[in-house]
Each structure stands twice: as C-alpha cells, then as structure tokens.
Structure 1
Amino acid sequence: MDFSITKELIFDYFNGNASALQKKMIDEWAKKPENEELFYAYLVEWELSRPQYTVDVAAGIDRYRQYVATRSSEVPLEVPATPIDEPRPLFRQLMFWYAAASVAVLLLAGWLFRSEITYQTYATAPGEIQAWVLPDGSKVTLNANSSLRVPRFGFGQRSREVLLNGEAEFSVVHKPNDQKFVVKTGNRLDVVVLGTEFTVYTRARRTQVVLNRGKVELQSQPMSNSPAKEPLIMLPGDLVTVDEGGVMQRKKVDEPKQYAAWTEHRYVFDGTKLSEVARLLSENYGLSVEITDPKIADWTVSGSFKAVDANELLNSISQVLGIQYSRQKNKVIFSPNPS
C-alpha cells in the first residue's frame, strides 16, 4: 500500500474535503487491483459511521406497529374521549407512510452517493458534442444531450461494461485477452464487441446500432416472463433497429459512416419527414417543436447539412422545404409559407 494514502485521507475524500491533488492521488491508488478491495472496505466503514446509516429501520417500524397495535387494543375509559385529541386511523397511516418515505429517501441518497463514487459519468449538454478516451484506451464521442456511465475502478481489468443514454460513436480497443466491451442500453439491449467501430443510438422510442467495421453481437435482455432470444451477429454495413417492443429489424447501408456524421456537426437526411426532424431537434437541442399544419409534417427532406447549432439547422430545413419557422427561447413553431 502507498503509505501516503491513509484511511483518514480517504474518509476526507468521501466527505468531499480532499483537495484536487489528493483526489487525483486516491483515484490513481484505488484503480490498482491490489487496492480496490481495501477501498471498498473503507467505503462500507465510512457509510456505517454516518448517522443516516446507523438507523435500525426494521426495528423502528416494528416499534411503531407495536405502538399502533397497543393503542388500538386499549380499553376505553368511562370518560368520553374528545374526537380531536384521538389520532385518526388516516392520520396514523399517513404518518407511517411518511416515515417509510423518509427512510426510502435516505437510502436512495446513500445509493446515489455511492454510485457517484464508483462510477464516472460522461455527459453532454443540449447542442454539445464531445469526445473522450476511456481508461482502456477506447474512444467515445457523445452526441448532444447524451450520457455514458463507466466504472471508475477495475474497468479493463475484469470487465468493460458501460451504460449509454443517448447517442455515441465508439472506437473500441482490442484487448490481448479478448475481453469483451459491452454497451448496455435502457431498452434491454446489450451491444457486445471485441474491437471495432460502431454507432449506438438509444432513447425511449428505439435503439439503433450501425457497424462500421469489425463484428458486433446484439444480446436482447428478455422480460422476466419471456423466453430468451438468440443473439444477433452484425457485420460491417449492417444497421439494426430495435423498437420499444424489442422487435429487431436489420438492413444493409452503403455508407455506415454517415450515421455518425453528427460527430462533425453534419446531419444527413434521406427522405426524412419533418416530424422526424422535429424529434431530432428535441433530442439533440432540448427544443419543444410544434408543427401547425399536419400536411407539412409529412414533407420529406434529403441531403447533407452542416450545422454547428440549432439555428443553422432550422434555417437549412426551412429553406429546403419552403416553410417558415419562429423561435422563442426553446419553443420552435414550423408553419407553411403564406400563399
């Protein structure tokens, strides 16, 4: 163990009192496999020493239930009780659920804090595109309004699993031991690779994977009462879309790289409806988009457009389709040109 890293210093780190240099030293120390177990032991000890973690929740609830049962079984006195002084059953129930909710909040806060320590989250704001090199040497570029969660410790040593929300382009480094790189999505789909280049789009309405080179295996995680599905092997040029119901559709594309054109602030449309462009504006730039006339919602746009911000893209789309738009802060309205 590096004797400059003490338990007291690590506790300061957990409490948010460590300096920037100390944080860097601890991060580097904890990433070494021989120190990881001790780091988590300190984390558990620190959590148990905090007041909100020393509360015996089960005992407290049991005592409250016994109190309620005792009050319920008491023999009433001959003197009539004043209704306003007697705790009402509804009030008791509300107090019980309030206490339970308070406990849940404390536990959730602890879980979130621990998650913040054990995971590094890379994120982009609406309209922002940014690239990072992960600890294993793999490269990731996040599209706007996206996030990637990566384990702080042990990444690339025992496993390489990340959680994506949004859209990202990956260039994965191959490991000598053929260790897999797994991109988990919120739509019960895992993208499993060894070393390759691919793009993943995953938001609430669908997940889409485009493979540039190498080989990728898609593993669909079944619902608890559903049978497991066979993995799907993707080859270069494959585009696979998975809808909300878990149905996969695969097709070949001539230029898979164009699906990552956003990394260069370029948008490629091929017969794309205005309604779909509106969703893109909402997802990438956080805009609320309204189309006043249903007819123009189905109008399509094709071509490649360079746009470093939302206004440039709005101008290009409106000129190509011959429509007009207005924008007030984050509200955009598309409407037909006056006759």
Structure 2
Amino acid sequence: MNIERIWVLLAKRKSGEATDEELAELNDLLHREAGNTENEIVEKIWNAPLQPLNEIKPEDLWNKIERSTGKTVAKPFDAGRISTWLAAAAVVTAVIAGVFLLGPKKENSVAFSQNITTQPASKKHLVLPDGTNVWLNGNSALSYNDRVFGERYREVNLTGEAFFDVTKDAAHPFIIHASSINITVKGTAFNVKAFPGQKNVETSLVRGLVEITTRQDPERKILLRPNEKISVSAEKEPVKQAENKTEQPLFIITKLHTDEKDVLPETVWMNSSLAFDNESLEQLAPKLESWFSVTLHVDENMKEAHFTGTITKETLQQTLDAMKLSSPFGYEIKNNEVWIHK
C-alpha cells in the first residue's frame, strides 16, 4: 500500500512545493491502487478542515495507535524539520497507517482480493463479475478488488498479456492498469501486451473505442480506434537517442493487418495451435512473439527465410530447433527477448 507516499505527495501539492514529476507520480498512485476505498477516505480527510497544527500532538496520536493496535508505529517524518503541511501529513499518515495497516484484519478480507495467474506456455479464460471475458496468456497475471469492482469503476491490474471482451456499461468505465499506461473503455474488444522488461506496452483494438493515458504524460488522453495498435514506451521518461539527443516519440499508432488466413498476429496466441505454411520469418515473427510472449530481433539476412510447421505444446526452444532444420540459423534467448541471426 502506498498510503504514506500518497500523503507526502498530497502535502507537497497542497503547499505548492510538488514538482511536475511528483504530481505525475501522485496521479499514478491514486489510480493504480487496487482498492479505491482507502483513497476516497484519504481525499475526504485531506480536504476536511484540520485542527491547527500547534494544537496537534503527534506523540499522543502515535501512542494512541500503538496502544489500540498493540504494535509499534514507525514515525514517518520529523515534524520539526519539515514544512507545516508535511507535518500535518505526518500526523494523519500515522492515523491512516493505524487504521489500514495495523488494525485488526477481518477473516474474510482475503476474499476481496482476486489474483489470477498463468504458468508459461499456458492460457486461461475467466469471466469477471460484470460479465467481461478475459483470456490470459502464459506467464501473466490479472488482479482486481471484487469488494469495490463495479461500484464506480471496473478496475483491474495486468502484468503480461490478455485479450479483453468488455461488457458494455457506460456508467461504470472499465479501467486497465498495465505497466506505463492506463486504458479506459466502456465496452469493446482489444489485446494488451505488457510483460515485465518489455520496451513498449502494446494495445491492439479490434472493436469499440478506448482512451489511453500514460505515466509519462498523465494529462494527455489518446483515443484508439478499431483496427489500430498503439505502442507506448514502458520507460518512466521518453528515451533520448544517443546521436542527435532528440526524444523518441512517446507512442506510435499503426494499423492492424490480418494475414492471408484473416488472423491478427496480435491475437494468434488465443488459438489452440499455430500453423504456418511457407511464410517468411518477417511474416512469422509477430505471430511467434504473441504465441510465446517474447520480442524477436531478426537479422536482415534472415527475414526472407521461409518456414512451414504447426505449434501446439512445443516450447520456444523446441520450435526454433525444429525450424533450424529447414533453414539453418543461430539464436540467443535472454529473458523475453530472442535474437535470430544467420
């Protein structure tokens, strides 16, 4: 839980001392917390009139929390060394910590947190409480708080790759937090790819309309239309090129294209098998990337090599070894990246 950090940033915003980076971080934290209840209480308490600071005795509050919980509360700040607003934040942070972190936990509290994971090379289909269908790719995780899911928003957190077919509900926007982006929809079908270590976070829209905001530029709203794909940098800041020192674009939008079998490479991983017939490695690479949840780097002199085969339960290494029999090549695998060379 980031309640303590949220209070620090709220205090800096209130006093006008927050930098642009800290304001962006605050916005990100308030939207990324799995449970909204704590954030709503934070906002309400913060905006309510506070007792004058000189009448507040932080030691009394800390001692009271320690007596009621039977646990020692770490004092997050030295009120004598920071500004008035930060001192107030320190006091209330202790209260929040006592209520949410140290208070007695209900026996059924675990039931409020839903975490669904998949093993590498496996897939899972699930239906959320609102009827939304989700297909989770291998080595991925989806989590949400079913206590507040659907009250105001339908929020989930994604690590890895998933295809969403979202139930329409204009009154309760569906929000996905994935790496450096937040995706807001009301009813649509799209694929999201956000594996750890991935340079870009990708969203491919099949139908409907989605709104995307980024961690790097949270105030900017990007609309994605059907048959479009957006790739957003997963870096906290836009990467600068070494030669001319100019910034690379934060995001790139391209059109989706199906293959000769009318299949989108971005969603081919959802099928039970992947078949390819005399396809060049350049054509095949996007399909292999989606199927195995990796990023392929193919040398120019290998892009026109053609392959035929069918993948069902084979691993990435088994697949590459089989492909080498028809057109020899070398490869290197490191985490989720693969380099293929002559």
TM-score category of the 2 structures, normalised to the smaller one: 0.5 to 0.7
- Where does residue 213 of structure 1 map in the other structure? 207
Judged with a 3 Å threshold, the aligned counterparts in structure 2 of structure 1 residues 54 and 146 are, in CA distance, closer, same or farther, namely: same
Deviation at 1:186, TM superposition (A): 1.5
How far apart are 1:150 and its partner, in Å?
1.1
Specify which of 165, 190, 195 is matched with residue 171 of structure 1.
165
Shift of 1:197: 0.6
In structure 1, the partner of 2:323 is: 317
Q: What is the Cα deviation at residue 309 of structure 1? A: 2.7
Task: Note the 1:1-339 alignment, pairs <5 A.
Answer: 54-58=71-75, 118-175=112-169, 177-187=170-180, 189-203=181-195, 204-222=198-216, 228-229=219-220, 231-244=221-234, 245=238, 247-255=250-258, 257-266=264-273, 271-272=281-282, 283=293, 305-310=310-315, 313-323=319-329
SS at match of 1:57: coil
- Distance in 1 (CA, whole Å) between partners of 2:306 and 2:119 is 26
| Alpha-carbon spacing, 1:194–1:326, altered in 2? closer, same or farther (3 Å) | closer
TM-score normalised by structure 2 residue count:
0.52
Q: For structure 2, list consecutive stretches of 5 or more residues without a partner in the other structure.
A: 1-36, 42-64, 79-100, 239-248
**What's the TM-score, normalizing by structure 1?**
0.53
What percent of counterpart residues are identical?
A: 22
Q: CA RMSD in A?
A: 4.8
* Cα distance change of structure 1 residues 184 and 325 upon mapping to structure 2, 3 Å threshold: closer
| 1:334 to partner: Cα distance | 7.6
Return the letter of the residue paired with 1:57: A
How has the CA–CA distance of structure 1 residues 214 and 58 changed in structure 2, closer, same or farther, with 3 Å as cutoff?
A: closer
Any gaps of 5 or more consecutive residues in structure 1? 1-32, 38-47, 63-106
1:178 partner SS: coil
Aligned length: 229
Partner of 2:194: helix, strand, or coil?
strand
Matched residue of 2:139: which SS? coil
The structure in which a higher percent of residues are helix is 1
Counterpart secondary structure, 1:131 = strand
Contact 2:130 2:150 in 1 (8 A): yes
Instruction: Find the aligned partners of 2:229 and 2:269 in 1 and give their Cα distance.
Output: 17
Q: Is the CA contact (8 Å cut-off) linking 1:266 and 1:304 kept in structure 2?
A: no
Residues 270 and 303 of structure 1 are in contact (CA less than 8 Å); yes or no, is this contact kept in structure 2? no
Q: Given that residues 299 and 321 in structure 1 are in contact (C-alpha distance below 8 angstroms), is that contact kept between their aligned partners in structure 2?
A: no
